[in-house]
Amino acid sequence: MNKVGTVIAFTMRNKVRSKSFLITTLVLVLLVVVGGNVPYLINKLGGGDKASDVGYVSGSNPEIVQQLQALYAQQEKQQGHPDVNLQVSADEGQLKQMVEDKTLDGYITLQDNPATGFPDVTYHSKNALGSGTSSSLQTMLQQVKTNLLVKDAGLSEEQIRSLLTPVELKNEQVTLGDGSGKTAEEQGTAIGLTYVVVILLFMGVMISGQLIATEITAEKSSRVMEIIVTSVSPLAQMFGKVIGTFVIAILQIAVIVGALVANLNLPHNAEALQGFGIRLDSIDPAMIVIAVVFFLTGFFLYAMLFAAVGSIVSRTEDLGQAVMPITMLTLVGFYVAMFGLTHPDSPLIVVCSYIPFFSPFLMVLRVGLSDPAWWEIALSIGILLASTLLLGWLSAKIYRTGVLMYGKRPSVKELVKAMKAYKV
């Protein structure tokens, strides 16, 4: 146990001291700080607060233009500014020139259409694809049309208002328990949190796994391994290395998450986040606990696989190819989880949430976005724990054998034969 501690300390000291580690952490923190402020920046810089200037030719369909102006004036009263400022001009040529000069964002032309009884409207602007302005115009024109038609139908004010009021549709999740499901706000938060957890696990596993495998192969190829395995049992060395790297990864993640949370909690950001439907205080603590359990077990499952693979490769050049299968496994887990963000109840996700290599990604996702029964979670954790122990034992055996084998990468048959010969 004492020696495991020595290996852990050595692994950590060398990692923390390395320049690459410090620089990576710093860059990630910087990215997170910028990223955490993006919602606020979008709000501040985005076009949302600014009215676009839209021109029209004087004299064409005056009734419609007048109604449109009235609706935008009403909008100005409600939200402080209209989406569109309508400006009149004598002819289309002049409007075109104004768009060219950037005094206008665009202009509309109306073309009578006897078939519908309402003119076809064209919005001309520099950026042809659906801008916010054209969708705003669409909504308003629709309303103008409704108003015009309803006025002719002779309905009362009351009826008109009732007709125009949109249907209320709220989302609420169904749960068996105490009855109150997650509100839309909680769900938004859950999606965000699940996304973060899945990405953290993916990055944690990929970065630390590669690191563990590389270090072990490097020890082997520099032949330090021969001295180390004669000083300490290979098991102690492997676990020391895995745990040491794990602590470092956790430290790194803690610094990054800390930076993220600190930034999100700044007053201006909390408001912006609320605008997106994310509230940090609505995070379910049970979700955090489950996420941590799955993160830990998943991390060790993958880390030990990486260690085993690192031990059978003799040269760093061969490592990339050798870890490919594990990398693929994490990638599959990650992409299935990305798909699951929108379909948390699909059979694929449910089945995969029991498969040990994917369950760390997918059970967390199901807990966050759907509502699995407690036994489902327990079963998934059970399977994951059992396979982590099994693979840990197997990895230790492979490691014990692999560190003494040099030359070309051994086949499975050769490995089993060597295991028998070395009596491990």
Partner 1 sequence: MNPLKVESVVKQYGEKTAVNRLSFEVAEGEIYGLLGANGAGKTTTMRMVLGLILPDEGDIRYFGNPYSKEQLSMLGYLPEERGMYPKIKVSDQILYLAQLRGMPRKNAEANLRRWLDKFEVPEYYDKKVEELSKGNQQKIQFIAAVIHEPKIVIMDEAFSGLDPVNVEMLKKTVKELRDGGTSFVFSTHRMEHVEELCRNITIMHKSNPVLQGAIRDIKKKFPQERVLLSADEPIQGLESVPGVTSVVRHEHGWELKVREPEAAQAVLRHALAQGPVRRFELMEPTLNEIFIKTVGERHE
CB atoms within 10 A of CB 199: 14
32: CB partners within 8 A, 6+ apart? 256, 259, 260, 263
202 close to 295: Cβ distance less than 8 angstroms: no
Q: Provide, rounded to whole angstroms, the least separation between the CB of residue 219 and partner 1.
A: 8
Q: Provide, rounded to whole angstroms, the least separation between the CB of residue 13 and partner 1.
A: 7
CB nearer partner 1, residue 232 or residue 296: 232
CB nearer partner 1, residue 142 or residue 233: 233
C-alpha to C-alpha distance for 387 and 296, rounded to whole angstroms: 14
In the complex, the residues that contact partner 1 under the rule CB under 8 A are: 3, 6-7, 10, 13-14, 219, 222-233, 404, 417-418, 421-423
Evaluated on CA atoms 229, 234, 236, 241, the torsion sign reads positive
CB nearer partner 1, residue 160 or residue 229: 229
Q: Provide, rounded to whole angstroms, the least separation between the CB of residue 227 and partner 1.
A: 6
CB nearer partner 1, residue 53 or residue 219: 219
Q: Report the greatest alpha carbon distance in the chain.
A: 97
CB nearer partner 1, residue 81 or residue 223: 223
> What Å distances lie between residue 67 and 72, 97, 414, CA to CA?
9, 26, 84
CB nearer partner 1, residue 335 or residue 422: 422
Give φ, ψ of 377 to 5 degrees: -65, -45
CB nearer partner 1, residue 227 or residue 292: 227
The helix/strand/coil state of 107 is: strand
For residue 164, the Cα-to-chain-centroid distance in whole angstroms is 38
Q: Provide, rounded to whole angstroms, the least separation between the CB of residue 6 and partner 1.
A: 5
C-alpha to C-alpha distance for 255 and 33, rounded to whole angstroms: 11
CB nearer partner 1, residue 207 or residue 229: 229
75: CB partners within 8 A, 6+ apart? 82, 83
Amino acid residing at 264? L
Q: Provide, rounded to whole angstroms, the least separation between the CB of residue 413 and partner 1.
A: 11
Q: Provide, rounded to whole angstroms, the least separation between the CB of residue 411 and partner 1.
A: 14
Strands 52-57 and 84-89: parallel
Q: Provide, rounded to whole angstroms, the least separation between the CB of residue 4 and partner 1.
A: 10
333 close to 294: Cβ distance less than 8 angstroms: no
Q: Provide, rounded to whole angstroms, the least separation between the CB of residue 16 and partner 1.
A: 13
